[in-house]
Structure 1
Amino acid sequence: MLTKFRPLMATAAKARAPPAVTASKAAAAAVELEEHVHYKHTDACHQLRWTAKESYEYMYARPWSRVVDFYAELVRAGAGAAGLAKLFGNDEKDYTLYTAGENYLTPSEKPTTTTFSKGRGGRWERVTFKVVISYHGGSFDGWQKQPGLNTVQGLVEKHLGQFVDERKAKQLEARSLPIEGCAIVAGRTDKGVTALQQVCSFYTWRKDVKSGDIKGAINEAAPDKLKPLHVSEVSREFHPNFAAKWRRYMYIFPLDEDADLILGEAQSSKTLENSEHNIKPQSFDVSKVDEILKPLAGKTLSYKMFARDTQASRSVGPPTECFMFHSRAAVAKLHSANEDHKGGMVVMCVELVANRFLRKMVRVLVATAIREAAAGAGADALLNLMEATDRRATAPPAPPEGLCLVDVGYEDFDKQRCFIVD
């Protein structure tokens, strides 16, 4: 029967071929045209604004190795967020690890209701630990565990495997899986991003596990690259991500430049001779970046234009809204232990504190603020971009090497603990 209809099927295929080829050519032409189209800004300084390529090359042309080494020294010292205080001439004692709220209780676990949990099994009997860790971003392939990669989560969970209860261990063995613990984190960081006080949790039904045991196990995982700062037993309902009230990030951008041209040495002379490119600025003012970032503080805004790699279902509405507690920029000086750089390197530090952050949001905000400051845009430049309809209106993400998750807060935000203040 199939043989009978094959000639008809072949004829139909031939008849449909020309339109398909035409559609394919049209699609290819559209893609080629799309690759060369930049978002059209309509403000007065649109001719001074760097293109996506120019912004990307300017960002990555900095001496990032100096910043990476600086973060490595902070992690090695194990001072946590207090290690950044010296950049701004602040007292390190004011930024020591906050542990006063370790007896974290959720509303359902108030003293008046906890008596009803007695005699119950399952998760009511498990012991939950809050783990504050510091790790060097340049030494890992990000936080999230992935096959074949050296990730922070993979390393932590591997060393937590010795504290897994017997029933969980048997379940893992039955499925031919390695005996590892489960670490829930406050927020995943990308490859190259450092964390000074990242927070994760681990639970087990074993009653003989102590905080010191967990701290010692993680401390042996990767000396000088991964350090547990504090481990404490908390409520069974404690969740590092959902219980957090704010997160603080610091971005350090090197200001020392090896070349004057934004476009780099690889650019053709034809590009450099273009009058539109020649009038573009070669640097930016840090005070201008601070002026552009300030208006974000104290507002709930949708940062969908500053997000990257987000799912379509999370691109609109409340999932993209964040409340910014603090957003400032200032000049600082990095001092390295390397004898060749005794004088230190001048850098720009951007401090952002919000209730939540979208994927790559900090890096896009920093890169866009720098681009707008160089172009001479007004203080409302970032606010105006919130209303854009194309993410090409914002700059490509700044390099991950400059980004650092400083700490995560579970108490009300206190502006006095910020590094950059008036």
Structure 2
Amino acid sequence: MLARLRPLMATATRGKTAPGVAFSTSVAAAERYDHMHYSHTDACHHLRWTAKESYEYMYARPWSRVADFYAELVRTGAGATGLAILFGKDENDYTCDTNGGNYIVPLEKQTSSKSSNDRGGRWERANFKIVLSYHGGSFDGWQKQPGLNTVQGLVEKHLGKFVDERKAKQLEARSLPIEGYAAVAGRTDKGVTALQQVCSFYTWRKNVKTGDIKETINKAAPEKLRLLHVSEVSREFHPNFAAKWRRYLYIFPLDEDAKSISGEEQSTKILKGLEYNIKPQVFDVDKVDKIIRQLEGKSLSYKMFARDTQASRSVGPPTKCFMFHSRAAVVKLHSADENCEEGMSAVCIELVANRFLRKMVRVLVATTIREAAAGAEEDALLNLMEATCRRATAPPAPPEGLCLVDVGYDDFNRQMCFIVD
């Protein structure tokens, strides 16, 4: 895989480009490659990592420590409460309400004015909202795929116990396993953890109890998958379409050789790089925060920060996302046998948006760290929005650091964020 991550090629400028980014190609390169290459031409272009260098820097971290931290949160069923403690917040503000108080959806409230008891079709079915926590390293992602151990596959297999008789006969007639269907708020990739993922399941059976669903799912994969809360909701509730925002947290570990630097030390490092053409191997966390903050409160097209998307979804409104919150801070990760002082330092990047594109968070994290290390201006990410080739951004950061914290169905409240001023 590393062999395919070739350094970016510097060529002549062509066409309209974003500030600090020049797009070009040579005849020889065009004959050899199907894609175009970017050459950054701002003042710090010689300090910016190539795709291969960025990939190697991102993966040369103690990711097992982050994976163990997430695994402990899933095992204990702490949900967002565990992260609240990490940032010194009051855990009571982030506790999962077992009575469903934190998961009331506007769609559920409007049913009081009109009854659907006498309506047929889908209105006769029982719809359940399920809040799950699972460890990304134990599964091959959310989406069900043949021959792979996925969260959706495991959940739907055990939900088959609650499928109504009519659907069970239809599945048997087609020689298919008797399984339920779980719609989800957002699919996660292999290696990505979720602390409060939301999905839904419906059935026409009238005797299904929420406690039975919880007990069955929690037996599926102990310590790897945990059902935090389940409740019967409105027939109109859909975990994806009803969601108003999603929150992700990325934890980037800093080992002894990769401590953050700032101020005069950062300037000295850049000057040495100018003289000896040595690319930096450290970055200023404050600079990461300033760069990522520029996305806050803006509706932008993130097509340059997406990966593996269909061509039809690479332009226009489908690529636009509104970023409610984007911050970075340093924390101490510690295991059960460590105290906060002995824990490992890590950079946390918290992002809240109405939607996210495929691998968008991981590319944003990798690109932000790359730009901070090179000493780029604070508007570096905004400039890259107008690029015309995704190779202008960095390869995705490792999935082990990414966590889907929760999904919101009420209006966004900044006070519920972990990193605030």
Task: Name the TM-score, length of structure 1 as normaliser.
Answer: 0.86
Alignment of structure 1 residues 216-231 onto 2, 5 Å: 216-231=215-230
Tell me the residue number matched to 1:372.
371
Alignment of structure 1 residues 228-247 onto 2, 5 Å: 228-247=227-246
2:323–2:354 contact (8 Å) kept in structure 1 = yes
Give secondary structure in 1 for the equivalent of 2:327.
strand
Query: Higher Cα Rg: structure 1 or 2?
Result: 1
2:366–2:397 contact (8 Å) kept in structure 1 = yes
Superposed displacement of residue 120, structure 1: 2.6
Superposed displacement of residue 111, structure 1: 3.3
2:108–2:234 contact (8 Å) kept in structure 1 = no
Change (3 A) 1:412 1:108: closer
For 1:157 and 1:95, locate their aligned partners in 2 and report how far apart those are by CA, in whole Å.
Answer: 28
Deviations 1:290-332 (A, max 9, x none): 0001111101000000000111111111100000000000000
For 1:143 and 1:96, locate their aligned partners in 2 and report how far apart those are by CA, in whole Å.
Answer: 24
Alignment of structure 1 residues 11-410 onto 2, 5 Å: 30=30, 32=32, 38-97=37-96, 99-100=100-101, 102=103, 104-106=105-107, 110-114=111-115, 117-257=116-256, 278-338=277-337, 343-410=342-409
Aligned length: 380
2:251–2:346 contact (8 Å) kept in structure 1 = yes
For 1:302 and 1:169, locate their aligned partners in 2 and report how far apart those are by CA, in whole Å.
Answer: 44
For 2:338 and 2:179, locate their aligned partners in 1 and report how far apart those are by CA, in whole Å.
Answer: 42
For 2:105 and 2:125, locate their aligned partners in 1 and report how far apart those are by CA, in whole Å.
Answer: 15
Superposed displacement of residue 344, structure 1: 1.0
2:96–2:102 contact (8 Å) kept in structure 1 = no
1:62–1:257 contact (8 Å) kept in structure 2 = no
For 1:29 and 1:157, locate their aligned partners in 2 and report how far apart those are by CA, in whole Å.
Answer: 48
Tell me the residue number matched to 1:14.
none
Give the counterpart letter for 1:139 in structure 2: S
Give secondary structure in 2 for the equivalent of 1:150.
coil
Deviations 1:38-93 (A, max 9, x none): 41112111111111110000000001000000100010110101110121111111
* Pairing 1:412–2:414 present: no
2:248–2:351 contact (8 Å) kept in structure 1 = yes
Superposed displacement of residue 29, structure 1: 7.2
Change (3 A) 1:414 1:259: closer
Deviations 1:257-298 (A, max 9, x none): 5589xxxxxxxxxxxxx9998421111011100000111110
Change (3 A) 1:205 1:248: same
Change (3 A) 1:370 1:122: same
Give the counterpart letter for 2:230 in structure 1: V
Tell me the residue number matched to 2:16.
none
Give secondary structure in 2 for the equivalent of 1:39.
strand
Superposed displacement of residue 96, structure 1: 1.3
Tell me the residue number matched to 2:11.
none
For 2:400 and 2:386, locate their aligned partners in 1 and report how far apart those are by CA, in whole Å.
Answer: 29
Give the counterpart letter for 1:112 in structure 2: S
Give secondary structure in 1 for the equivalent of 2:383.
helix
Structure with more of its chain in helix, by fraction: 1
Change (3 A) 1:184 1:28: farther
Give the counterpart letter for 2:32 in structure 1: E
Give secondary structure in 2 for the equivalent of 1:57.
helix
Tell me the residue number matched to 2:17.
none
Give secondary structure in 2 for the equivalent of 1:90.
coil
1:102–1:232 contact (8 Å) kept in structure 2 = no
Give secondary structure in 2 for the equivalent of 1:237.
coil
For 1:340 and 1:89, locate their aligned partners in 2 and report how far apart those are by CA, in whole Å.
Answer: 14
1:62–1:258 contact (8 Å) kept in structure 2 = no
Tell me the residue number matched to 1:15.
none
Which has the larger displacement, 227-236 or 329-338?
Answer: 329-338
For 2:212 and 2:364, locate their aligned partners in 1 and report how far apart those are by CA, in whole Å.
Answer: 40
For 2:110 and 2:30, locate their aligned partners in 1 and report how far apart those are by CA, in whole Å.
Answer: 59
Give secondary structure in 2 for the equivalent of 1:358.
coil
Which has the larger displacement, 105-114 or 237-246?
Answer: 105-114
For 2:318 and 2:310, locate their aligned partners in 1 and report how far apart those are by CA, in whole Å.
Answer: 11
Change (3 A) 1:395 1:239: same
2:58–2:366 contact (8 Å) kept in structure 1 = yes
For 2:141 and 2:214, locate their aligned partners in 1 and report how far apart those are by CA, in whole Å.
Answer: 21
Deviations 1:107-159 (A, max 9, x none): 99543332xx3433221100000000000000000000011100000000010
2:104–2:409 contact (8 Å) kept in structure 1 = no
2:183–2:200 contact (8 Å) kept in structure 1 = yes
Deviations 1:150-177 (A, max 9, x none): 0000000010000000000000000000
Task: Name the TM-score, length of structure 2 as normaliser.
Answer: 0.86
Alpha-carbon RMSD across the aligned residues, in angstroms, is 2.3
For 1:349 and 1:340, locate their aligned partners in 2 and report how far apart those are by CA, in whole Å.
Answer: 19
Give the counterpart letter for 1:370 in structure 2: I
Change (3 A) 1:38 1:275: farther
* Percent of residue pairs bearing the same amino acid type: 78
Note the residue ranges of structure 1 that are not aligned, 5 or more in a row: 1-26, 261-273
For 1:232 and 1:213, locate their aligned partners in 2 and report how far apart those are by CA, in whole Å.
Answer: 11
Note the residue ranges of structure 2 that are not aligned, 5 or more in a row: 1-26, 260-272
For 2:85 and 2:40, locate their aligned partners in 1 and report how far apart those are by CA, in whole Å.
Answer: 40
Give the counterpart letter for 1:310 in structure 2: T
